[in-house]
Amino acid sequence: MQKVSLRQRFMLTLPRLLLLAAFLIVGGIEALISGTPTAHAAQTDQSRSLEGTEHRGLDSGCQGTQRKPNFGGVVEVSRGEVVCGDVTSFGGQVVIHGEVIGDVVAFGGNVIVDGVVDGNISLYGGNLFTPDRAHVNGDIHVCGGNWTEGDGMQLHGSVFHCTGGLDMLLGNNAGVQLRFWYIITWVMLGIVLTTLLPEHVMLVRTTAKSKLRRSLALGLLSMLLAPIILAVLIALIIAIPFAILVAVGFIAAWALGTVSVGWIVGDMIVQRIAPNQNTRMVQIVVGLAVLAFLGSLPYIGWIISLLVGMIGLGAVFLSRFGTRLYGQPKRPITW
């Protein structure tokens, strides 16, 4: 019963974690790659009233309750309803006929604004539709999607497009897609390893964190000796099957070590950015997504990947593939 429960919880949580990882990646670098904002002048100085509903300021009372983050569903603000607070959606659609006094943020879903938004609108991987009745008192951020604007739409703010910045930073569109799947692959690998071998990953993580220099030194030594050992084994024709096993073990150790180091990085990031979401799975997803993204950058990416891989590789060998703890940790081990 416990295994079934764990599997069900894993399948339900996976889409949310992937969307959260995408948010942290794109949202964290948006200021660096969005470029110069495109000024968008308001079409009129007077605010348009909603149909049958007078525009409300920040000092007025709210008729609607503050919305919690939505995962995969439809968020709708009905006409005449006023929501005070941010509206956040992961993988769902947002439809606003009334008024939102706060920011609207959507990841992997479309947003339709047919009312008033007193705040910024940020989209990551979705499309924005603002018909004639739309009124936005804030900036619009569109990353990885399109914006369809009505002729009578009113915007008191600026428009930011980060898609072009991503292409310049990562290369052409094919390069962006390749790096996206590279990130997703590492995130999926991390989730699988920590689900199937949680104790092993934890012991490697603890070893890498408490014995950082020793792990790096052993990882560097292993990198230098591995090609020589494989060449000798391949030269001895009878030992070719053993050489294949050694190569597979080396790759497995590299993957296990990188996942463990990604857990450390994710722990540090989530504690500072989203302490309320500081769970093991979120840490792993965020950490590996950040490491994979940095590793996919041109010029410096291979250096980051090599450094992370050597630290993780050394920690794997020190902990004997996560079967024992190398030395005493400075702090108690926490999950």
The reported pLDDT for the residue numbered 25 is 43
How far are the Cα atoms of 219, 241, 246, 252 from residue 232, in angstroms, in the given order? 20, 13, 12, 21
Predicted TM-score (pTM) of this structure: 0.50
pLDDT of residue 226: 85
pLDDT reported for residue 178:
60
Residue 261: per-residue pLDDT: 95
Beta strands in the chain (DSSP E): 38-40, 70-71, 74-77, 82-84, 87-90, 93-96, 99-101, 104-107, 111-113, 116-117, 121-124, 128-130, 135-136, 140-143, 147-149, 154-155, 157-161
Whole-number Cα distances in Å, 91 to 15, 98, 102, 108, 307 = 8, 21, 20, 5, 34
Domain residue ranges of the chain, discontinuous segments joined by +: 2-24+171-318, 39-161
What confidence score (pLDDT) does residue 184 get?
A: 84
Q: What is the pLDDT of residue 127?
A: 87
d(Cα 190, Cα 263) in Å, to the nearest integer?
9
pLDDT of residue 329: 57
Q: State residue 301's pLDDT score.
A: 82
Instruction: Write out the chain's pLDDT in tens, 335 residues.
Output: 444 454 444 444 444 444 444 444 444 434 333 444 444 444 433 343 333 334 444 445 565 556 677 766 788 888 888 888 888 887 778 999 999 998 998 877 889 999 999 999 988 777 899 998 899 999 998 876 788 888 888 999 988 876 544 444 444 444 455 667 778 888 899 989 988 999 999 999 999 988 899 999 999 998 898 888 878 877 776 666 777 888 888 899 999 999 999 999 999 988 888 777 778 888 888 899 889 888 877 778 889 999 999 999 999 999 998 888 776 655 555 55
